[in-house]
Amino acid sequence: MKIIKENTKMKRLGILLVLMLTTVSYSQYYEGNTVIAWSKYKFKPVSEVDGYKAGDRGKALLEYHTARNAKTKLLQSSLFLTHYWTGKVTDVNFVNEFKNMEDATLYSGTGGDLNEKTWPNEDERKAAVSGSNKYFQRYHEDVHLFENRKKLEKKKKKSKDNPNTVVAVTTRYWKPLSQVEGGSSDERDKLMQKYHKKVTMKNDKIISQRTVTHLWTGALSNGYYPITRITEFASMADADDSETGSKLYEKAFKSKEDRAAFNKYWAPASHEDIGLFWNQSRYNKLK
């Protein structure tokens, strides 16, 4: 029954993505960018898992995700986010990256095929899938579908040591260009890339960062355009650090005119804290 439940979840997400692909939207997808699909599940309290012993869940999830991540070519990268200061202690958020919408749709609709590829032996497959599923409630939510701006991405460096990290998700809004005096999309893109190169990339507190935009998620209101950053830090202390970024910003945008040129594109008082999560790094797929 639990194997069937997982396949049903995958098929449901696949149907949703197909509907999105065939629906007129206001999104604009740029060639070379990737797609981020964010889904939420919920852990069962371990007290409700028969025969649970300390460490069992972590071992089962590590075996399950390590094996599947090694076999799939469609999934480019993933984050496994759990409760820190956002949501409920049982929340589990999967942030999966794909080359395009076609790959995202195919991945979500072929979970059973991937399981067969990962565990050709039926008994081993049932044991692995049920061993993971028993720790989850019967809950699934499609939270976000984003476009990942590759030119503004800071990739995580691979290392043998892969501790858990802190992930902060924040959103700011661009003004409509019609409200930006002397503004243009070309200048805005150049300034965003300058900020990325001279501030984000040089900030050693930031392990990785994805800058994602509206694809088929959220709302566009009065022309204000949401820019969401999914930023990974080694610790909460690093996430709280604002001094490093401020110094790099002042160095990159030295004059009052430089800062005004960059800031004119941003809506005032538009910062939103979307979430703060633990990233269970050992379950991640890295590029």
| Cβ-contact 165, 62 below 8 angstroms | no
Q: Looking at this protein, which amino acid is placed at residue 137?
A: Q
Residue 57 confidence (pLDDT)? 97
Give the CATH number of domain 150-279.
Answer: 3.30.70.100
Question: In the chain, what are the domain boundaries?
Answer: 2-148, 150-279
| Cβ-contact 265, 149 below 8 angstroms | no
Residue 29 confidence (pLDDT)? 64
Residue 21 confidence (pLDDT)? 39
Question: Residue 212 corresponds to which tokens in the numbers above?
Answer: 């994602």
CA distance 271 to 247: 20
| Cβ-contact 261, 56 below 8 angstroms | no
Q: Looking at this protein, which amino acid is placed at residue 87?
A: G
- Count other C-beta atoms under 10 Å from residue 44's C-beta: 17
Residue 161 confidence (pLDDT)? 80
Residue 160 confidence (pLDDT)? 77
Between the alpha carbon of residue 232 and those of residues 37, 38, 66, 225, 270, the distances in Å are 17, 16, 21, 23, 21
C-alpha dihedral, 167 to 89 to 77 to 233, nearest 10°: 20
CA distance 124 to 146: 35
Between the alpha carbon of residue 76 and those of residues 14, 84, 92, the distances in Å are 17, 25, 19
C-alpha dihedral, 59 to 61 to 67 to 69, nearest 10°: -140
| 150-279 matches 2-148 in CATH topology | yes
Residue 123 confidence (pLDDT)? 97
CATH class of 2-148: alpha beta
Question: Mean pLDDT, consecutive 10-residue segments, the chain of 287 residues?
Answer: 44 45 45 94 96 95 97 97 93 97 90 94 96 96 94 90 93 95 96 98 98 80 89 97 97 97 94 94 94
Residue 81 burial (C-beta neighbours within 10 Å; 0-12, 13-18, 19+): buried
- Count other C-beta atoms under 10 Å from residue 174's C-beta: 21
Question: SS3 sequence, 9-78?
Answer: HHHHHHHHHHHHHCCCCCCCCCCCCEEEEEEEEEECCHHHCCCCCCCHHHHHHHHHHHHHHHHCCCEEEE
What is the CA 143 to chain-centroid distance, rounded? 11
Residue 59 confidence (pLDDT)? 96
| pTM to 2 decimal places | 0.87
CA atoms within a 13 Å half-sphere pointing along the CA-CB vector of 146: 23
| Cβ-contact 152, 211 below 8 angstroms | yes
- Count other C-beta atoms under 10 Å from residue 218's C-beta: 14
Tokens 């997808």 label which residue? Answer: 29
